[in-house]
């Protein structure tokens, strides 16, 4: 964020807040805007905890400050969602894991409305966030890749071991036959 943008944001706390939000946006892999009206304090606390466990952060940010903080980031499309009170979700690690946690919370708490988000520079509406949550997470993809890489080696090992295993079964069968 440039000095002129900070200066435009106002002095003191407002400028610090805008700068702080701008830094959050710069370090986030994904940002989602939600409407939280009607959630109780206990529900908000639970939401923040679940988002934190998914390597994210949930913050309530004034629209005027958020609008200024969006300047110069890949999240500029979120400006069109800045009406009413908004809660912001920032994903710092795996956006799929975070979107799964957010969608699950929203499904369990109908007061939380997902307005939209931006991931890798692409705007997503609520349906897009839901679609992202249905994708496999990074650890799941890594496990699939590892299984695919290991499959030929496992097959080769079975093929190499099979003649020896056949011989053992044949000898065991002969031993049983002679023993009777």
Helices and strands, counts by H and E, the chain: 7, 5
Q: Coil, strand or helix: which one is 39? A: coil
Specify whether 127 is located in the same domain as 170: no
- The contacts of residue 54 (CB under 8 Å, 6+ apart) are 91, 93, 94, 97, 98, 100, 101, 102
For 107-131, what is each residue's pLDDT tens digit? 999 899 999 999 988 898 988 888 8
Specify whether 12 is located in the same domain as 60: yes
What average pLDDT does this structure show over 30-52?
A: 93
Q: Is the pLDDT of residue 137 over 80?
A: no
Specify whether 93 is located in the same domain as 176: no
In order of 24, 42, 76, 166, 169, the CA distances from 176 in angstroms are 73, 70, 77, 15, 11
Strand partners, 66: none
Specify whether 147 is located in the same domain as 128: no
Specify whether 16 is located in the same domain as 89: yes
Name which residue leads in pLDDT, 109 or 157.
109
Handedness of CA 124, 125, 126, 128 (dihedral sign): negative
Which residue range forms the structural domain that includes residue 114?
3-135
Query: What's the CA gap between 34 and 112, in Å, rounded?
Result: 7
Specify whether 56 is located in the same domain as 88: yes
CA 123 to chain centre: 15
**CATH classification at residue 7:** 3.30.70.1730
Specify whether 128 is located in the same domain as 141: no
Specify whether 110 is located in the same domain as 170: no
Query: What's the CA gap between 72 and 80, in Å, rounded?
Result: 16
- Into how many domains does the chain fold? 2
Q: Which of 49-58, 70-79, 155-164 shows the lowest per-residue confidence on average (mean pLDDT)?
A: 155-164
pLDDT band at 160 (very low <50, low <70, confident <90, very high): confident
Q: Is the pLDDT of residue 174 over 90?
A: no
Specify whether 69 is located in the same domain as 79: yes
Specify whether 93 is located in the same domain as 168: no
Specify whether 44 is located in the same domain as 124: yes
Q: Is the pLDDT of residue 60 over 60?
A: yes
Specify whether 160 is located in the same domain as 81: no
Handedness of CA 6, 90, 42, 106 (dihedral sign): positive
């Amino acid at each position: 964020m440039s000095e002129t943008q900070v200066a435009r944001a106002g002095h003191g706390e407002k400028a610090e807040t805008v700068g702080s939000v701008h830094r959050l946006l710069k370090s986030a892999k994904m940002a989602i805007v939600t409407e939280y009206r009607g959630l109780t304090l206990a529900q908000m606390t639970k939401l923040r905890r679940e988002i934190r466990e998914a390597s994210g952060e949930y913050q309530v940010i004034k629209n005027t400050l958020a609008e200024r903080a969006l300047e110069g980031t890949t999240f500029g499309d979120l400006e069109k969602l800045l009406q009413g009170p908004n809660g912001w979700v920032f994903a710092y690690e795996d956006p799929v894991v975070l979107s799964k946690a957010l969608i699950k919370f929203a499904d369990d708490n109908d007061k939380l409305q997902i307005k939209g988000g931006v991931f890798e520079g692409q705007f997503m509406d609520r349906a897009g966030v839901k679609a992202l949550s249905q994708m496999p997470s990074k650890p799941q993809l890594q496990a699939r890749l590892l299984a695919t890489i290991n499959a030929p080696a496992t097959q080769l090992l079975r093929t190499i071991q099979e003649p020896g295993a056949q011989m053992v079964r044949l000898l065991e069968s002969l031993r049983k036959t002679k023993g009777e």
